[in-house]
Structure 1
């Protein structure tokens, strides 16, 4: 799928902007099947876009973090699960089928000197 996507972008030589967040984006990642693109933002949300043929459309917003979504990553073999890490010192696991947070893990704060 990744090779097909490269060809689409190469052959069309186009770029497109999508309004998904009200603040800067910290992280983006493609799902393992190449059908979804997720973004995490300083606005405390994650967004997921779905790719159908050559069209990318917004599927959903994911809210729940109390601070910026600094990183996100898709499950390596399950294209329905992704995880976000936030400045609120939590990690959240999201399921795109239910559009809900499956689990929240609290982490230790960084030491301040």
Structure 2
């Protein structure tokens, strides 16, 4: 459970919520009566922690940034342009580019390429 919590915190989820979710599953494991139930709890733990990261990962970003990130993740297999994203969030391309790098630590193209590489690892 500690590894799950650490992973979701490293992925950007808040610590308090990660520990709460972990504690919930620790209680379920403690009450486990057989291997089948334990396996089911384990699978639910993985699913819930992944969902948790997906929903909480960008929680502290402004709405326009979350919109861009959601769009990028939904369209990784397409060509994504700065102009397209700037129109989506109603910001100038230059401002979007500067702010995106400031918040994410990556230029827009670097971020998109990193996400495409991560996606390719699972193919």
With normalisation by structure 2, the TM-score equals 0.21
With normalisation by structure 1, the TM-score equals 0.22
- Structure number with the bigger relative contact order (C-alpha 8 A, sep ≥ 6) is 2
Structure with more of its chain in helix, by fraction: 2
